[in-house]
Chains A and B, each alone.
Chain A
């Protein structure tokens, strides 16, 4: 079975632009979480979605938004990009909203110039 997939793998944007990152969970998994990992740090929680509803949000500004589709894939949108948004964005899936173990994708590396 395929693991969690994310696209694109790399992305370069300029300040003020908008970006959309995509994630497909493991087949059968219904919950997706997004994390931001700045260089040299551990991942920070951004969102969790389960059954197309937002179940939790980390300490991120409203420029960050996400959604989950009927096939359980998810998109993370970031508006008005800042230099500080440069990071690795990780997506993780679990079987259910309360699933214990999160399985991560390879991430999308975003560079904001």
Chain B
């Protein structure tokens, strides 16, 4: 079974600065997808960024970018020019490219709580 580990329960960053959130995962598969989701206090899980394992190029979405190291099974999220609205729980998630048991479920880490200091 796949596992996702987020080793930083909490992080803080000054407004306008850059912060990196860490995520490692364990899998024996070669094809899969990785995601970062943001969950603000409103509870709604919002997709931040997605990475396909077969793509060597790191995904970027405006101020958000990832550092995907397939061999190291590492998938970190970098937030540049941090804003107050970035404060939230951030979850790293894994999805297999194969439906071994018939489904395509997401496996989540425990999350990192990000605080943004004005």
Contacts and interface: CB of A to CB of B under 8 A. Distances in A.
B45 A90 contact: yes
Contact of A45 (B33, B105, B110): B105
Given A90-B45, A104-B44, A106-B44, A43 B102 contact: no
A69 to B, nearest CB: 19
A98 B105 CA distance: 10
B105 A33 contact: yes
A65 to B, nearest CB: 16
Nearest to B37: A104
Interface in B95-118: 95, 99, 101-111
Contacts, number: 71
A80 B44 CA distance: 27
Contacts of A57: 103
Contacts of A44: 108
Nearest to A88: B43
Contact of B110 (A41, A90, A97): A41
Contact of B105 (A41, A56, A88, A103): A56
Contact of A42 (B102, B103, B105, B109): B109
A16 interface: no
Interface residues of B, number: 26
B103 A55 contact: yes
Contacts of B62: none
Given A101-B47, A106-B43, A43 B103 contact: no
B103 A107 contact: no
Interface string B14-52: 000000000000000000010101000011111100100
Contacts of A48: 102-105
A105 B42 CA distance: 11
Contacts of B47: 101, 103
Interface string A70-95: 00000000000000000010101010
B68 interface: no
Interface of B: 4, 33, 35, 37, 42-47, 50, 91, 93, 95, 99, 101-111
Interface of A: 33, 35, 40-45, 48, 55-58, 88, 90, 92, 94, 97-107, 109
